Amino acid sequence: MSRNELSRSPSARTDSVIGGDGIWKVTRSACRGEAAMKLASFEAIVHSLGEGGVRYLIAGGLAVNAHAYIRSTRHVDLVIALDSENIAGAFKVLAKLGYKPAVPITAAQFADGELRRQWIRDKGMMVLNFFSDRHRETGVDVFVTEPFDFEREAMDARECELSPGVHVKSVSLPALIAMKEAANRPRDLDDVQHLRWIQEEKEPTSDGCDEFDWSVATWEGSRRAQLRHALTFTLRERMEMVEGLADVVRRLQEIRARGGFKTAAKMAGASHSTAALATREPDAPS
């Protein structure tokens, strides 16, 4: 299937690119009742941040997707420049979209560096969570520190177009790997492995060999092949794949809740019994 054909078929794109543990991550999250974030909500957030002149960088799972490892995520992780003016702008933009902090913290309080250090020291706080009734499935997490020199990282940031006129700025691949290594959770370490493979895939090769690459027959080779394929898609296309697969899982859950699978199993069993009776040889006359 060509890239153009894939871009017209979300389900085909998903089957072609999200393979193995990628599908498992999306399915597992949905089965735990974790709603995948909505592309429309993310688009509204980054558009509003851009319109509001907020200096920000996308981190976390969305940045992982931006760098071509396709997986599900539930939050928009934001690293913002922590000067008081930029913080006030970020809070104002989020408030217009209906977002409120999960704990009663004002922009002025968040801009107080000493208060933030106190929250980190006493509460173990790493991000400030925001939730919106208008965007229930898409939370926003704002980092309480700048994990790097923000201005320097902003210069190295990956920028891609989400839709006409809407651009997304994500942390660079080296910075994202460093953040994931620092977090050191199982999912972060999985991200690190795939991000390092992507880093290697982006490095030019000089062998020019057109023969079949037998390495794709291994688990790692298969994952690398999927990552190479994912690199050919836009961030929007990658997010559509994840959202589409999550929708399929939700529909399957609804069918299961209605007992649809049990009904189908009974029908299949009945059909099998009928077929067996129809093909059974007649008993010999006594």
In terms of Cα–Cα distance, which of 166, 150, 170, 138 is closest to 50? 166
Q: Please tell me the distance from the alpha carbon of residue 31 to that of residue 50, in angstroms, as a whole number.
A: 34
pLDDT confidence of residue 58: 97
In terms of Cα–Cα distance, which of 53, 65, 68, 45 is closest to 142? 45
Both tokens assigned to 100: 């409120």
At which residue do the structure tokens 């969305």 appear?
62
Q: Which domains are seen in the chain, by residue range?
A: 33-201 (3.30.460.40)
Q: Please tell me the distance from the alpha carbon of residue 232 to that of residue 58, in angstroms, as a whole number.
A: 20
Sheet-wide strand order for 166-170: 99-101, 127-132, 139-143, 75-80, 56-59, 166-170, 158-163
Sign of the torsion formed by the C-alpha atoms of 26, 28, 31 and 36: negative
pLDDT confidence of residue 213: 58
At which residue do the structure tokens 């319109």 appear?
51
In terms of Cα–Cα distance, which of 49, 83, 30, 3 is closest to 248? 30
In terms of Cα–Cα distance, which of 140, 87, 80 is closest to 111? 87
DSSP conformational letter for 240: H
Sign of the torsion formed by the C-alpha atoms of 228, 229, 234 and 239: negative
Tens of pLDDT, residue by residue, the chain (286 residues)? 333 433 333 333 444 444 444 444 444 444 444 556 899 999 999 999 999 999 999 999 999 999 999 988 889 999 999 999 999 999 999 999 999 999 999 999 999 999 999 999 999 999 999 999 999 999 999 999 999 999 999 999 989 999 998 999 999 999 999 999 999 999 999 999 999 999 988 776 545 444 545 555 677 887 888 888 888 888 898 888 888 887 887 788 788 788 876 665 566 565 555 555 555 555 555 4
Sign of the torsion formed by the C-alpha atoms of 138, 28, 58 and 106: positive
Residues 6+ apart with CB under 8 A from 60: 73, 75, 76, 77, 141
Helix %, strand %, coil % for the chain, to 5?
60, 10, 30
